[in-house]
Chains A and B, each alone.
Chain A
Amino acid sequence: MSNTGVCSGKARVDVSLGGRLFGVETEYGILVEGRDAGDLMEESRLLVSAYPHRWAGPWDYHSEDPRRDMRGFRVDHLNYNKEDARYDAGSTASHLSSQEQRADRALVNGARLYNDHGHPEYATPECRSLRDLVAHDRAGERIVLECARRRAEQTGREVRLFKNNTDFHGMSYGCHEAYLCERAVPFERLFHGMLPFLVTRPLYAGAGKTGVETSGPFAKECRYQLSQRADFFTEEASVDTLARRPIFNTRDEAHADPGRHRRLHVICGDANLSEFATALKVGTTCLVLSLIEAGWEPLFRLKNPVDAIKQVSRDPALRWILELEDGRTMRATDIQRIYLQDAQRLLAGSDADADWTLREWERVLNDLEQDPGRAGDRVDWVAKRRLLDTYIEAEGLRWEDEFLRSLDLEYHNVDPELGLYYALEEAGQMARLVEDAAVVTALRQAPRDTRAAVRGALIQGFAPQIERLSWGRAALRSQPEPRWLYLPVELGDSGDGLLRRVEAATTVEEAVDVLSGEEHVPEQG
């Protein structure tokens, strides 16, 4: 395992999880009684619009340009799913403006809730700790569930929401992660450093899926695979997200000063129900980014990453053997250990989250190598597999039985009275990382140590006077003239003076005074 990664930078790295902003955006699947896929743009919009608490909007899309590529160019167009496009022709929502269709809501907890292409999407506020991220991710489950219940009351139709990534008929939707990182890192080093890690991360971050939806390795013999999303990646790198999806997404939207930062937009991950899996996938990705920012790079490359992510996900024997570019083979768990061991050497002791991640990363890899069943209290694909195994045994079913897909889907139902994940959790079978009280707090309070807290304070105090807003700024209707206010990326620790002054402001003009001194940094170059 030696000589498998090299660091051209410092012998020891001072970067830790605590210095990086990260967040998770989840597109939820939606099933409405009596409605079909062609109605989901409208149903999703109306569900989001049923959010009953304080919010501000619309969203300011000025800083967003999904065609801008990290590699220094802008594409002419994005690829769309042709089968999906037919739904738009007869959509009852087609007469609405883009702003009306999206129904953006920025919430007092700093999060964003909106209709993304027929899926209710909840984007957590920016977080700096794994605990905050898990609490806000789970708060998102409760928020969309509340919207679904209100929508069901309004219409008399049952509404079910699923935190998953596939409809089992070839349509996928994402759970994306965002990590602020240094612009100075060359694209090639970031890409080659991240790719083997992302390809093998489903080992512990996969949410599990019955069946296979595309061709490729093990397509015929696989009945259950680790990842919901692996089937849908056909490219190594590109700016696309809706079709011809890449393992490494090159969209260049920093949502911060583009002169200093990139935002690594990870689209190849699954939506996790397990709190542990959410924390570990984000914690490990932060550590790998820190390694790469310090000059580290792996001394190997995968021969075919697009096939490899499917091999990891689908291998029925769970051997996970991958070909390298130089002709050698390596187990996916060993590839993860290369990253782990150098992270232990260079990042141990950085902060509590880094140490938790290093410890749990090693433990889960040990379990996966010795007996994957041992990880059933932490890893979604293992937990779901155990549920399905138990049911198959109890009912005498075969893996080909269609009912297993309905059980698979129900694992992801966000209604605690129905969802099978929640049943496991309620039975004490799943590791918890946050108390319910922290989730309740996250419904109404942003992390105190990121700019999301300032956004939340503005929404709490002055929602009617907010003309529009985005991750980095807000336009306020103040006197004598409307003002753009810029939210500082570096907010500092809890109790930051700037935040307390915004929270104490009694008029929008006072809030403007507090924030008007913040440096104006464009979010897009």
Chain B
Amino acid sequence: MFPNKGEWISGQERMPRPGPAEPFTKPADDSGPKAPDVKRPDPSDLLKRMRRVDPDQARRYRQRSGQ
């Protein structure tokens, strides 16, 4: 089903970016802060982040029934 699985995480292949988002025009007020110009993280950071996830999180996660 996912022939390329794993490739993105080793940085070999980037998912294609979408074409121009035509209906999404510039905001009326464009004076706000811009997207931060940050260095893209090493894709292996994704695996590192996953390894840091609290393994008991889902077991402890109990919610009220909502709508």
Q: Point out residues on A near B: beta carbons under 8 Å.
A: 27, 29-31, 36-37, 40-41, 80-81, 83-84, 87, 116-119, 129-131, 134-135, 162, 167-169, 171-174, 176, 241-243, 267, 276, 318, 351-353, 355-356, 360, 371-373, 376-378, 385-387, 389-391, 393-394, 402-403, 405-410, 418, 420, 423-424, 426-431, 433-438, 440-441, 445, 448, 494
Contact = CB atoms under 8 A, between A and B. Distances in A.
A390 B5 contact: yes
Contacts of B67: 27, 116-117, 173-174, 176, 241-242, 267
B20 to A, nearest CB: 10
Contacts of B43: 427
A329 to B, nearest CB: 21
B44 to A, nearest CB: 10
Contact of A173 (B29, B30, B38, B66): B66
Contact of A441 (B32, B36, B40, B53): B32
Contacts of A378: 18
A409 B61 contact: yes
A81 B1 CA distance: 38
Interface string B15-34: 11110011111011110111
A433 B63 contact: no
Contacts of B1: 318, 371-373
24 contacts: A27-B66, A37-B64, A40-B64, A117-B66, A167-B62, A168-B58, A171-B65, A176-B67, A242-B66, A276-B18, A386-B2, A391-B47, A402-B59, A403-B53, A406-B59, A409-B58, A423-B41, A424-B46, A428-B15, A433-B24, A435-B34, A437-B27, A437-B32, A445-B29
Contacts, number: 201
A125 B28 CA distance: 16
Contact of A433 (B21, B32, B56): B21
Contacts of A408: 58
A386 B8 contact: yes
Interface in B38-57: 38, 40-41, 43, 45-47, 49-50, 53-57
Contacts of A371: 1-3
B25 A131 contact: yes
A431 B62 CA distance: 32
B16 to A, nearest CB: 7
B17 A431 contact: yes
B34 A410 contact: no
B46 A423 contact: yes
Nearest to B5: A389
Nearest to A360: B18
